[in-house]
Amino acid sequence: MKKLILTAALVGLTAGAAFAEAHGNVVRMGTEGAYPPYNFINDDGEIDGFERVLGDELCARAELTCEWVLNDWDSIIPNLTSGNYDTIIAGMNFNAERDEVIDFTQAYIPPSDSLFVGLSDDVELDGAVIAAQTNTIQASYIASETGATLIEFATPDETVAAVRNGEADAVFADGDYLLPIVAEDADLMVILDPVQVGGGVAMGLREGDELIAVFDEAITSMKEDGTLNALLLEWFGEETPTW
């Protein structure tokens, strides 16, 4: 009897795999789910945000079946290259360092400002303690281009919490992430000068993946008919740069 159940379970497993293989075009979309409004887990426990809507639309246009996968930010590139999912769509800016390891589609969000947010505006960047998320372009900017001390956190939320509890003088992150938080917290304010560190947000794929051309085409079609701009305005506000 036990053997029968085990065999049935195995048949179920392989049948599931065979079914998916027959479809062949399930694309696994990897995202972080902790970076509103780019991508986050909503109150229903589902992945939501600008990139969820965008990704679903791109898959619809490219006639792909897509499935969403959550992955921590600090291992998001290694897990793409090792094949745990097929794309990174997680507010990731294109830069040369990442481009050595993975390939990018064209950008779907134009380069935008990264901001410093702190509790008071008498912060000198040189010698200040700046919080940033691990493995972000903001973290490498603080570490290599400024005289500030960098402290890194695994999630974006923890970087803001570090400023609130006084552990850091300021947090450095994408303005689109920080501005909604600043707007609702009277203690926080934008300080210092905005910096443009990224080359625009794009989807990351394994090097030489045929899907790059497919997604590029879908992004182009969304840029051309204005739906991408409408989405940008909807999720990032009226002042966001558009295409």
Name which position in 61, 110, 140, 180 contacts another protein (CB under 8 A): 180
Site map 91..110 versus another protein, x via CB under 8 A: ----------x---------
Q: Whole-angstrom Cα distance, residue 109 to residue 91?
A: 9
Query: Where do the DSSP E strands lie in the chain?
Result: 26-31, 34-35, 39-41, 47-48, 65-70, 87-88, 103-109, 114-118, 129-133, 149-153, 170-174, 189-195, 201-205
- Per-residue interface string for the shown chain with another protein, residues 194-213, x marking contact by CB under 8 A: --------------------
Fill in the per-residue mask, 150 to 169: x = in contact with another protein (CB under 8 A), - = not in contact: -----x-xx-xx--x-----
116 CB-near residues (< 8 Å, 6+ apart):
123, 125, 130, 170, 171, 172, 190, 191, 192, 193
The dihedrals phi and psi of 154, each to the nearest 5 degrees, come to: -75, -30
Kindly state whether residue 190 participates in binding another protein, applying the rule CB under 8 A.
Answer: no
Among 36, 55, 91, 175, binds another protein (CB under 8 A): 36
Q: Is 81 in the site for another protein (CB under 8 A)?
A: yes
CB nearer another protein, residue 57 or residue 209: 209
Instruction: Please identify which residue in 44, 63, 97, 210 interacts with another protein, judged by CB under 8 A.
Output: 44
Query: Is position 23 an interface residue for another protein (rule: CB under 8 A)?
Result: yes
Alpha-carbon span 68 to 87, nearest angstrom: 10
Stretch that binds another protein, among 110-118, 141-149, 179-187, 197-205 (CB under 8 A): 179-187
Name the one range near another protein by CB under 8 A: 40-48, 55-63, 121-129, 197-205. Answer: 40-48
**Closest distance between another protein and the C-beta of residue 46, in Å?**
7
Question: CA nearest 149: which of 174, 132, 166?
Answer: 132
Assigned token pair, 145: 């281009």
SS3 183: helix
Smallest gap from residue 127 Cβ to another protein (A): 27
